[in-house]
Structure 1
Amino acid sequence: MHLEERSTDDAELAALLEAAFAELVARNGAEGRTQVKDGARYFVVLDADKHAVGCAALQVFGPDTAHPGDGELKRMYVTPAARGRGYARALLNALEQTARTAGHPTLRLTTSENQPEAISLYESSGYTRIAPWGKYVNEPLTRCYGKVL
């Protein structure tokens, strides 16, 4: 497994993001598609054949938020054919290290009750439920997690 940072104009990343959006909408409805902030960093995980099989974005909470300086994980996704092989955990671990290096004290994320696989990954990786923030406060199916880095 290998992790690479990619730009948003990368074709493999674009295909993964589109698949991630489609799955989010299928599981959560159109409201499941939230925006990633400008300036977010995007990463892909590659299999042994150098094919991109997963992606995620890392963005920063701005100074005008309740969690300034914290990192936020967005668009965590692994293709269905590559699931169960450790790619998601490797991607998550690499993003945690990237967030630490960038000086983020905590990494936060949101997922849905409709994504039990994601919940299992995050909880088994040391993430704990935290109070919802922003638009997630009034979304009963949303689960918010955080991990002190």
Structure 2
Amino acid sequence: MKDSITIVTINPDDKKAFEITEELSANLLMRFGSSGKNSFTDWQPDNSKFVFVIAELNNEIVGCGAFRPVDENTAEVKRMYSKLPQKKIGTSILTFLEEKAKNIGFTNLVLETRVKNHEAVQFYTKHKYQVIPNYGKYINRPEAICFGKSLK
């Protein structure tokens, strides 16, 4: 039987999301010296343009991802994480987020990751994201690399 990944939209404050987001934060802190939590503090759970998802595989939560609006046409991908490598979890989450963003009316996605996060840089490049100038709080931050993708 083939493993089936299920993507579920959920409030990031839900207890089902807590463990995976804490695991993501601990992973980032260990690898890069920052948990990434500070870039996820303006979440608006009652705003339909803010979307947070978890990925489930065999009744286990194995990943998460989100986007939030930057402006009328652009959403920012946040908190992407896959607990298990080589299971297409990240691809499933990203594909879901791209479709959801497009359905809401966004025409572009942007995101930031760390230059040192070679796995993430490779992942986004593989999924047709292009390096763009650093935006917002990432301007003049050489440790950051930003990506963008048109949803048109």
CA contact (8 A) 2:27 2:35 kept: no
TM-score between both structures, scaled by the size of structure 2: 0.86
* Number of corresponding residues: 141
**Structure 1 residue 10, shift from structure 2 partner:** 2.0
Name the residue aligned to 2:12. Answer: 8
Aligned counterparts of 1:122 and 1:74: Cα–Cα separation in 2: 13
Name the residue aligned to 1:65. Answer: none
**Structure 1 residue 35, shift from structure 2 partner:** 2.2
- Alignment pair present for 1:18 and 2:22: yes
Aligned counterparts of 1:6 and 1:44: Cα–Cα separation in 2: 7
Aligned counterparts of 2:100 and 2:125: Cα–Cα separation in 1: 20
1:67-82 matched pairs, under 5 angstroms: 68-79=72-83, 82=84
**Structure 1 residue 31, shift from structure 2 partner:** 7.3
SS at match of 1:138: coil
Q: Judge which range, 34-43 or 24-33, deviates more.
A: 24-33
CA contact (8 A) 1:27 1:114 kept: no
SS at match of 1:34: helix
**Which digits, 9 at most, give the CA deviation of each residue in 1:74-104, with x for residues without a partner?**
000111xx21111101111110001100111
Q: In angstroms, what is the RMSD of aligned CA positions?
A: 1.5
Identical aligned residues as a percent: 28
**Structure 1 residue 38, shift from structure 2 partner:** 2.0
Unaligned runs of 5+ in 1: 63-67
2:131 equivalent among 123, 129, 132: 129
1:42 equivalent among 38, 47, 52: 52
SS at match of 1:38: coil
SS at match of 1:93: helix
Name the residue aligned to 1:83. Answer: 85
Name the residue aligned to 2:47. Answer: none
CA contact (8 A) 1:110 1:145 kept: yes
Matching residue's letter, 2:22: E
**Which digits, 9 at most, give the CA deviation of each residue in 1:49-87, with x for residues without a partner?**
12110001110014xxxxx430110000111xx211111
Matching residue's letter, 2:52: Y
Aligned counterparts of 2:13 and 2:135: Cα–Cα separation in 1: 30
1:112 equivalent among 111, 114, 131: 114
Aligned counterparts of 1:30 and 1:111: Cα–Cα separation in 2: 12
Runs of 4 or more off by more than 6 Å in structure 1?
A: none
CA contact (8 A) 1:24 1:33 kept: no
Aligned counterparts of 2:37 and 2:10: Cα–Cα separation in 1: 21
